[in-house]
Amino acid sequence: MLITVMSTMGKRQVKNESDLKEMRLPEEGELFGRVLKMLGGENVMIKCTDGLTRRGRIR
């Protein structure tokens, strides 16, 4: 039995390099993190680049 799944999302295409935005780097006292879990409202659990798991807010 063969099951084929087709995704409706296409590959991102960039027409010009001028369309790309510069990535914002963290300033003093800031770090990047990845959302692990939505807790409700604007609260989230975040895995930070320093290895700690923190609770944060999306504003």
Task: Give the per-residue SS3 of 8-59.
Answer: CCCCCCCCCHHHCCCCCCCCCCCCCEEEEEEEECCEEEEEECCCCEEEEECC
pLDDT at 10 over 80: no
Average pLDDT over residues 3-9: 58
**What distance in Å separates the CA atoms of residue 32 and residue 48, rounded to the nearest whole number?**
6
38 falls in which pLDDT band (50, 70, 90)?
very high
Mean pLDDT of the chain: 82
